[in-house]
Amino acid sequence: MSDEKKTVQQDDVVSIDYTLTDSQGNVIDSSEGAEPLEYLHGHNNLIPGLESELTGMSVGDEKQVTVAPEDAYGPRQEDATQIIPTDAFPPDMQVEPGMALEMRDTTTGQVFEVYVTEIRPEGVVVDFNHPLAGVTLNFDVKVVGIRPATPDEIAHGHVHSAGHHHH
């Protein structure tokens, strides 16, 4: 037995409680009333500006972390919207503002996400910016659990928890 406190390191599975607010104090996201967020540390599963701040924390530690857009979802690009004709969508698809859509670049084959901002008679307005692009993020985080990852988890780069196993 060692009384040295376990701290968050590369390849740990870390559970955090968090509340995310913008610079006006509006709550964007929170684990309150839900399960803590469990992630594999050191595998880019969190935005870089938050993940780096969690390194070295112990269970029970709390921290306020402010992350600039450059270390979160990037700066907001102007004129990054496009109108997609309504008939490009399957007729049974419910498209609503706030939805993320996957688009494929027909030239490169690259798949990327766009975000629906508006439905107009002539089509669906999508924005190539992430909704949090250009936003400074404030996290109140508390580490509530740390465990070593399994070799499978490290190989896959994500957490395997009951009922949440994606491949």
Residues forming the site for Zn ion (CB under 5 A):
156
To Zn ion, the closest distance from the beta carbon of 37 in angstroms equals 17
**Do the beta carbons of residue 121 and residue 85 sit within 8 Å?**
no
Residue with smaller CB distance to Zn ion, 76 or 156:
156
Residue of closest CB approach to Zn ion: 156
Give strand pairing partners of 128: none
To Zn ion, the closest distance from the beta carbon of 150 in angstroms equals 10
To Zn ion, the closest distance from the beta carbon of 162 in angstroms equals 13
Per-residue b or e along 10-31, where b marks 16 or more CB atoms closer than 10 Å to that residue's CB: eebbbbbbbbbbeeeeeeeeeb
**Do the beta carbons of residue 14 and residue 146 sit within 8 Å?**
yes
- Which of 59, 35, 63 lies closest to 49 in space, CA to CA? 63
Q: What does the alpha-carbon distance between residue 83 and residue 138 come to, in Å, rounded to a whole number?
A: 32
The answer for residues whose C-beta is within 8 angstroms of residue 122's C-beta and 6 or more apart is 83, 85, 86
To Zn ion, the closest distance from the beta carbon of 43 in angstroms equals 11
Residue with smaller CB distance to Zn ion, 104 or 165:
165
Residue with smaller CB distance to Zn ion, 130 or 160:
160
To Zn ion, the closest distance from the beta carbon of 165 in angstroms equals 6
- Which of 96, 93, 13 lies closest to 59 in space, CA to CA? 13
Residue with smaller CB distance to Zn ion, 130 or 156:
156
Residue with smaller CB distance to Zn ion, 63 or 156:
156
